[in-house]
Chain A
Amino acid sequence: MKEQVNLKIDNLSVSVDEGTTILEAAKKINIRIPTLCHHEDLCVAGNCRVCVVEQAGLDRLQPACANPVSEGMEIFTNSLKVRNSRKQIIELLIAEHRAECTTCYKNGKCELQSLTNEYIVGENGFIPLVPLKGYTVDEFSPSIIKDDSKCIRCQRCVRTCDQIQSISALTVAHKGGEMKVSTFFEKPIYEVVCTNCGQCVNRCPTGALTEKVYINEVWDALYNPEKFVVVQTAPAVRIALGEALDMKPGEIVTGKMVAALRRIGFNAVLDTDFSADLTIIEEGNELLHRLKRALKDKDPDVKIPMTTSCSPGWIKFIEHTFPDMLENLSTAKSPQQMFGALAKTFYAQKMGVDPANMVSVSVMPCTAKKFEANRPEMRASGYQDVDYVVTTRELALMVKQAGIDFGSLPDDDYDSIMGESSGAAVIFGATGGVMEAALRTVYEVVTGREVPFDGLNITPVRGMENVREASIKIEDPVPEWDFLDGVEVKTCVAHGLSNAKKVMEAVKSGKADYHFIEIMACPGGCLGGGGQPLPTSPEIRKKRSEAIYREDSGKKIRKSHENPEIVQIYEEFLHEPLGHKSHELLHTNYVARQRY
């Protein structure tokens, strides 16, 4: 139990734990102090000074986000001094910011804009600095656009890249009036160690960092009568899309989303969840195959632990950071890319569509998926397997553009084939989900029995702990896997790349002896992805996570290998996991990149 501290904020008494900031104490009694550089996921910066408050007895104002409470403190959050200063600070930020709000992608979702609105920042502000600075816009990356003229130097992005992702592709450079957020030697984002995860985009309060938008390209395809446009939707989109369409966090909108996509005009509305199930079959078999080589054949060349490969931010991170460990990565493509490769082969054949006329669109909670779709490795079908990737946010805009009243839509079902999925696929959207889905299948393949967890819910791998470990003992396996008898399969789950880095360093140094590791680049997994609705916070991510597990438990089929469409595709097309066709379409290789 921490010491309690008593103070008054705007003449209201409040008692909080020692060490609480003024900002948190005010929140407790429902007093909102505006902030810009502050973000719940990040360390305190105290840069923007928008949150300054008056403390009785002190001449200078104090930053509410940075200063801890003290006994008997009297705080005023809305005094004349505070109001005047705060307004002037907002005016200073506007002078530094290219405030062309009507043409900005973040129009209506910009935190600076809403502050100017609250404080009625008029025209008699300060001298605009933007015309004096010669700013450039970095539009070269397929994932992220960086527009320095809209940057307000809050450094949320820099802290995100450093603290959450341990990448530091973004830094602060220069000083004084020249100070700016920059990459190494001001290079374009696509040339540096950026993983395209988009966590910076999720935390940018203005339009300085945004995803590259492909909405118009998608509409063009939809308007083109020659084109057959298929769309796939990632697991984590259905539990977050509602937030961008006036619904509360944690609402499951799968049916409405499918209905909306159909209304928008996609020729086929299909599900990445289908290929998530497929990923489990391929990746699960790959794991067993590696374990067999390692434990039974004593093959010194096989790399254990195997790590998952679904998260393109993670892939680019390991390519940069641990280029000597690429063989630990599963060769299985991500569900998006498995889907893409099959859409223009298997699906096109089935539907009698010329793949040359097919446009493959995916809706992803992710900005790195845009980069992934553009990787040269991802053309197994003979075409670019996935043509356009739009984020959850972009899809919400398309729904609005189409004039659809999302809330009133009736639920609809995915098209078949490649539309059916299991609960195991849905949980891909949460950290630990791939691990849980894999264990549900692998354990059953090896033992012939269901995983020994109540209701198939493998709770040790769930939750938001940074790194979670779980082991499962194999007993009484079927004859083919008898070498696993008594083996304790050790698994590890990590989300956020700084956690991933810690885990991989432990593996590298021999301190960890896992067999299988799941890594997701973003905090919370895909549900906290860089393409998800804004804002993001631990609380919102928790609600999304709960929705994902609700969706799973509501599914008739809970295990990937029981998805009838999966059974069907192996019978008709792929023939066997890790077989010839699989290798051709569903597996890939990785490239070592520069670390610094």
Chain B
Amino acid sequence: MLQTNETIKKLADKFGRKEESLLPILENVYEQKHIISEDDMVDIARELDISAAKVYGTATFYSFLETKKCGKYVIRICKTITCMMHGKNQIIKELEELLKVNLGETTPDGLFTLKETNCLGQCHKGPAMLINDAPFTELTPGKVRDIVNKYRQEEKQVAS
């Protein structure tokens, strides 16, 4: 038998081994690993003693619980009505050029994943996006460049 990995075990200790703990555990696994992998789902199933298929079915229901590897920073641009009206397509184009990836893709350095998302609740300040949990609003192409550069620079500083 495989040993349950430490991450999952700790999360199960923290949130409890009940079905109600499933979402918090999944959310935390994603936050730590930028993916909820097949192996992790099996381990979660084992800890909570529920079927692995149920874990998969639940995870795939929620758009923030990614089952494919994402970058360290997931950029989610709101595509809903008012952000669309205020030019989200331009922002996406700018980001695609800046990051040299298309929507849905991750940069080769594993830093950024570019995605669209439904309403972020920032409709009065569109276009808006989230980078991981942090909201950015009233975006312009220039503003987006600055934000991405800031993230890149911070990464460089951390690396050096």
Contacts and interface: CB of A to CB of B under 8 A. Distances in A.
Classify A-B as touching or not with yes or no (CB < 8 A): yes
Nearest to A186: B56
A17 B4 CA distance: 50
B35 to A, nearest CB: 13
B46 A171 contact: no
A175 B61 contact: yes
B54 A185 contact: no
A543 to B, nearest CB: 33
Contact of A169 (B38, B50, B51, B67): B51
Interface in B1-56: 38, 41-42, 45-46, 50-56
Interface string A155-190: 000000010000111111111000000111100000
Contacts of A169: 51, 53
B53 A168 contact: yes
B142 interface: no
A595 B67 CA distance: 21
Max chain A C-beta neighbours (<10 A), residue from B45, B53, B61: B53
B91 to A, nearest CB: 24
A146 to B, nearest CB: 13
B61 A596 contact: no
Given A185-B38, A596-B42, A596-B45, A192 B61 contact: no
Contacts of B60: 173-175
Contacts of A182: 53, 56-57
B61 to A, nearest CB: 5
Nearest to B45: A596
Contacts of B56: 171, 173, 182, 184-185
Contacts of A172: 57
B46 A184 contact: no
A174 B41 CA distance: 15
A193 B67 CA distance: 20
Contacts of B38: 184-185
Contact of B53 (A170, A175, A595): A170
Contacts of B50: 168
Nearest to A324: B1
B111 to A, nearest CB: 26
Interface in A71-88: none
Contacts of A594: 42
B61 A184 contact: no
A175 B54 CA distance: 14
Interface string A92-125: 0000000000000000000000000000000000
A173 B60 CA distance: 6
B54 A171 contact: yes
A594 B46 CA distance: 11
Contact of A168 (B41, B54, B61): B54
B61 A171 contact: no
A198 to B, nearest CB: 17
Nearest to B42: A596
Given A174-B61, A175-B61, A192 B53 contact: yes
Given A171-B51, A184-B41, A596 B46 contact: yes
Contacts of A171: 51, 53-54, 56-57
A171 B61 CA distance: 11
A174 B58 CA distance: 8
Contacts of B54: 168, 171
A596 B52 contact: yes
A175 B50 CA distance: 21
Contacts of B53: 168-171, 182-184, 192-193
A185 B51 CA distance: 12
Contacts of B41: 184-185
A596 B52 CA distance: 5
Contacts of B67: 185
Interface in A435-452: none
A448 to B, nearest CB: 47
Contact of B51 (A168, A173, A174): A168
A167 B41 CA distance: 16
B130 to A, nearest CB: 20
Max chain A C-beta neighbours (<10 A), residue from B42, B46, B52, B55: B52
Contacts of B55: 184
A187 to B, nearest CB: 9
Given A184-B52, A193-B51, A595 B46 contact: yes
Contacts of B51: 162, 167-169, 171, 184, 193, 596
Nearest to A192: B53
A546 to B, nearest CB: 35
A427 B56 CA distance: 41
Contacts of A183: 53
A217 to B, nearest CB: 31
A173 B59 CA distance: 8
Interface string A132-173: 000000000000000000000000000000100001111111
A192 B57 CA distance: 14
Nearest to A194: B53
A174 B67 CA distance: 11
A183 B67 CA distance: 15
A503 to B, nearest CB: 17
Interface in A302-325: none
B57 A173 contact: yes
Contacts of A162: 51
B96 to A, nearest CB: 24
Nearest to A592: B1
A328 B84 CA distance: 64
A357 B135 CA distance: 73
A142 to B, nearest CB: 20
Given A193-B51, A596-B45, 11 more contacts: A170-B53, A171-B53, A182-B53, A182-B56, A183-B53, A184-B38, A184-B56, A193-B53, A595-B46, A596-B51, A596-B52
29 contacts: A162-B51, A167-B51, A168-B51, A168-B53, A169-B53, A170-B53, A171-B53, A171-B57, A172-B57, A173-B57, A173-B60, A173-B61, A174-B60, A175-B60, A175-B61, A182-B53, A182-B56, A184-B38, A184-B53, A184-B55, A184-B56, A185-B38, A185-B41, A185-B56, A185-B67, A193-B53, A596-B42, A596-B46, A596-B52
Closest 6 A/B residue pairs (Cβ): A168-B51, A171-B57, A171-B53, A596-B52, A596-B45, A184-B53
Interface of B: 38, 41-42, 45-46, 50-57, 60-61, 67
